[in-house]
Amino acid sequence: MACCYALNQFFTATGSRASRDPLSERERECLAWVSQGKTTDEVAVILGVSSNTVNSYVAHAIQKFGASNRAMAIATAIRSGII
């Protein structure tokens, strides 16, 4: 998992991101991991935070995008080039 995290950090740092990104770095990280099929518990272990914290980051991202669920927030982030 540490290797996956390191690769994700590299691609996040070198990839292009939308200039009007409403998400915090942690919200973006959580959405990116969830978009790759990771569960809340797996993301929590990868990031070294609690499951409640991951759910909070995802909920904030959903709210910022005006999405109705995780899938819609992830789709919006992908279309926007945020993740």
Position 1 pLDDT exceeds 80 = no
CA 60/CA 1 separation, integer angstroms = 25
Note every long-range contact of 67-74, with CB atoms under 8 Å and residues 24 or more positions apart, other chains counting.
70/34, 73/31, 74/31, 74/34, 74/35
pTM for this predicted structure: 0.75
Mean pLDDT of 44-56: 98
Contact (CB, 8 A) for 5 and 46: yes
The full set of domain ranges for the chain reads: 2-80
pLDDT at position 17: 47
pLDDT tens, residue by residue, 8-48: 666 566 554 444 689 999 999 999 999 999 999 999 999 99
pLDDT tens, residue by residue, 66-78: 999 999 999 999 9
pLDDT at position 37: 97
Angle between helices 2-14 and 40-47 in degrees, nearest 10: 80
CATH top-level class of 2-80 = mainly alpha
